[in-house]
Amino acid sequence: MFKKILAPVDFAHAEKSKAIFDHAKVLADANGSELTLLNVVLEIPPYVALEIPKGTQDKTMTQAEFTLSRLAKENGLPSTTKIEIREGNASNEILQMAEEMEADLIIIASHQPGLADYLLGSVAGKVVRHAHCAVLVLR
């Protein structure tokens, strides 16, 4: 049913990662799916980039790739699991990645919304509203 699964992971909400990995593993195993884990690193605004050491963003992205690979291994995900690190707006990058890989399913975690989420919309909310595939939201 689901041949290509995208599972975005937000390190700021690490407590939700375990549920994402568990669901992704079960669904990928049951369907023989291609599984891709994604982490989106926030883009540093140009006015901030001038004030930080050169190469900081590259180090952050390298560290994100290492962390995501380690988590995939620790949670027993298949060795064929793809790791993708992108830079930019989380919801936009998730939606773009889903389109590029022709994902059948996005597995995403959602936290309890705060006031800003009601006014601006959360990442999970935007993904649900704009994705062209099924979205499984884990609370």
Q: How many CB atoms lie within 10 A of CB 43?
A: 14
pLDDT digit of tens for each residue in the chain (139 aa)?
899 999 999 998 877 889 999 999 999 999 999 999 999 999 988 888 888 898 999 999 999 999 999 999 999 999 999 999 999 999 999 999 999 999 999 999 987 665 555 544 589 999 999 999 999 999 8
Confidence (pLDDT) at 139: 81
Count of domains in the chain?
Answer: 1
Query: What tokens were used for 63?
Result: 């560290």
Q: What's the pTM value of the predicted model, to 2 decimals?
A: 0.91
The Cα–Cα gap between 95 and 6 comes to 10
pLDDT for res 13: 81
Q: What is the pLDDT of residue 120?
A: 44
What per-residue string of b and e applies to 8-39 under the rule 16 or more CB within 10 Å gives b? bbbeeeeebbeebbebbbebbeebebbbbbbb
CATH number of domain containing 51: 3.40.50.620
The range of the structural domain enclosing residue 85 comes to 4-138
Q: d(Cα 56, Cα 44) in Å, to the nearest integer?
A: 10
